[in-house]
Amino acid sequence: MTRTSSRWRVVVALVAAIVGLATTTGTAQAAGGTGSPPRMADGFGLTQVDTAVGGPTNFSITVTTPEVTGKHHIKIILPSGYDDDPARRYPVLYFLHGSPDDPVQQTYPALTTSNSMITVIPDGGVRGWYANWLNQKTQLGAQNWENFHLKQVIPFIDANLRTIATKKARAIAGVSMGGFGAFHYAQDHPELFSQTASLSGDIDLSADSMDLRLAVVASLIDAQGVICGSSSGACDPTNDPYKPGVDSDALFGTPYPVFDLDWRWNAADPSQHMDRLAGVGVSIYVGNGRGSATDAEFWLEGASKHVKDRMDALGMSYYYVDYGDGSAWGTQCNGGHNGGCWEQDLRDLIPRLERAFAS
C-alpha cells in the first residue's frame, strides 16, 4: 500500500466518524398525534411536491427549489399546544443535520420536548456542507444550500407558521456537518440569529486542522468509493452515499494551503471568524471519542478547543461542554460521534434556548 492510499484510508475513517456515518439516537419520536399537518403555501422559490407526512405537530414536507437540484425534505416540529392559542407566536430553532443524513432521520426525543418554540430541520444534502458551492456545474447540478436555507426556508416558515420573525427569536444549531453550518450561517448573517450551537461540529477547517479539511474533501470526491474500487478487503461500493464523486475544488476551490490558493476555505472556516459572533450566544458541545479506537470525535475535540482558544483571545463569552468519555453525560453517551451523545447535548441545549428566548 502506498503512503498516499494509507493517508486516504485514515481520512475515509474520519469521514465515517466525522461527517455522519454515525447513527442518531435509537429512540424514535412520535409522529405528532392524529390529524393532518397544517397546510403550507408555496412561496419564496419553494414548491411543495409529494404529500406531507406525519401528524399536526410533527411532520415533513417535500419541496423543490431552483437553488438546489432534486427534492428536499423539511421536517417541522410544533409545540403540542400550537393550535390551542391561535394568537400566540413562537421563536424558532433551525436544526441542521450531519452527513449523509436527512431531516426525517432526526428522531432525537429531545427535539419534541419544547412547548415554547418551533423546530425546523431543513435538508442539507448528503454532503452539501451548508454553502453555495463554487462549482455549480458538477454532476450534482445546482448546489446553493445557503441561498436555499437563508433566503427561502426561513421566510417560507415565517410566512406559513406563527413565528416571531426576529433575530432575538431565532436560533441555529447542528450536529457534525450541521455544526459547521450553524456557525457558518450565524457568521455570515448574525442579523438573523441570536443563538448558535455546534454539537460535535466541524468548526475548524483551517490548515491547522488539515485532517478535518481532508475529511470534507473525501466526502466530495467519494474517497470511500475510490478505495472500494482498489480494495481487495471488505468494502461495499453499493452502499456508498457519496456517489457520484465530484472535484475536490467544487465546494470552496482548492483545499491545499499553497500560496494562499485556499483562501475560500479560510473565508468559510468558522474558527477564523469568531469575532463575527459578537452579540450571538455561542454554545459548543464535544467529547473525546476515547471509548472507541476508530472514533474521530477526538479530532473534533481538538477543533473545538481551537475555537475556544480564539474566543478566549477575543474576550468573548460562550457556553462550552467537553464531556470527555461521556461517563457523566447521560446514560446513552460514550463520548463518541453518535446520537446518544447528541441527544444529551440537546437535552441540555433546548432548555437553555427556551430561557434565552424568554429573557
Tens-digit pLDDT profile for residues 314-355: 999 999 999 999 999 999 999 999 999 999 999 999 999 999
* pLDDT beyond 80 at 238: no
Give the model's confidence band at 26: pLDDT under 50 very low, under 70 low, under 90 confident, else very high: very low
**Which region among 52-61, 182-191, 230-239, 349-358 has the lowest average model confidence (pLDDT)?**
230-239
Dist. CA 267–CA 250, nearest whole Å: 15
> What's the pLDDT at 293?
57
Q: Outline where the chain has alpha helix (H).
A: 3-18, 145-146, 154-160, 177-188, 210-221, 223-229, 263-268, 297-314, 339-358
Are 123 and 88 in contact by the 8 Å Cβ rule? The answer is: no
Copy the grid coordinates of residue 10: 485514515
Give the strand pairing for 68-77 and 118-122.
antiparallel
* pLDDT beyond 70 at 237: no
> What's the pLDDT at 81?
92
**Which region among 4-8, 102-106, 206-210 has the lowest average model confidence (pLDDT)?**
4-8
Coil, strand or helix at 9 = helix
Instruction: Establish if 256 belongs to a structural domain.
Output: no
- Nearest of 118, 111, 54, 52 to residue 81 by alpha carbon: 118
> What's the pLDDT at 149?
98
Tens-digit pLDDT profile for residues 264-289: 999 999 999 999 999 999 999 999 98
* pLDDT beyond 60 at 226: no
Instruction: Establish if 40 belongs to a structural domain.
Output: yes
Arithmetic mean of pLDDT over the chain: 89
Give the model's confidence band at 223: pLDDT under 50 very low, under 70 low, under 90 confident, else very high: confident
Q: How many domains does the chain have?
A: 1
Cβ-proximal residues to 172 (8 Å cutoff; 6+ apart), any chain: 93, 94, 95, 96, 181, 182, 185, 186, 192, 193, 195, 196, 197
Are 76 and 56 in contact by the 8 Å Cβ rule? The answer is: no
Instruction: Establish if 259 belongs to a structural domain.
Output: no
Instruction: Establish if 80 belongs to a structural domain.
Output: yes
> What's the pLDDT at 15?
61
Tens-digit pLDDT profile for residues 283-324: 999 999 876 656 789 999 999 999 999 999 999 999 999 999
Instruction: Establish if 31 belongs to a structural domain.
Output: yes
> What's the pLDDT at 100?
92
- Nearest of 14, 11, 9 to residue 300 by alpha carbon: 14
- Nearest of 327, 320, 303 to residue 14 by alpha carbon: 303
- Full domain range(s) for residue 184: 3-204+264-358
Instruction: Give pTM, 2 decimals.
Output: 0.92
**Which CATH number goes with the domain that contains 61?**
3.40.50.1820
Instruction: Establish if 251 belongs to a structural domain.
Output: no
Instruction: Establish if 347 belongs to a structural domain.
Output: yes
**Which region among 40-54, 134-148, 210-224, 249-263 has the lowest average model confidence (pLDDT)?**
210-224
Dist. CA 114–CA 118, nearest whole Å: 8
Cβ-proximal residues to 355 (8 Å cutoff; 6+ apart), any chain: none
> What's the pLDDT at 323?
97
pLDDT: which is higher, 12 or 170: 170
List for the chain the helix, strand, coil content (%; round to 5): 35, 20, 45
Percent of the chain at pLDDT exceeding 70: 86
> What's the pLDDT at 170?
98
Instruction: Establish if 235 belongs to a structural domain.
Output: no
Give the model's confidence band at 29: pLDDT under 50 very low, under 70 low, under 90 confident, else very high: very low
Sign of CA dihedral 300, 345, 15, 277: negative
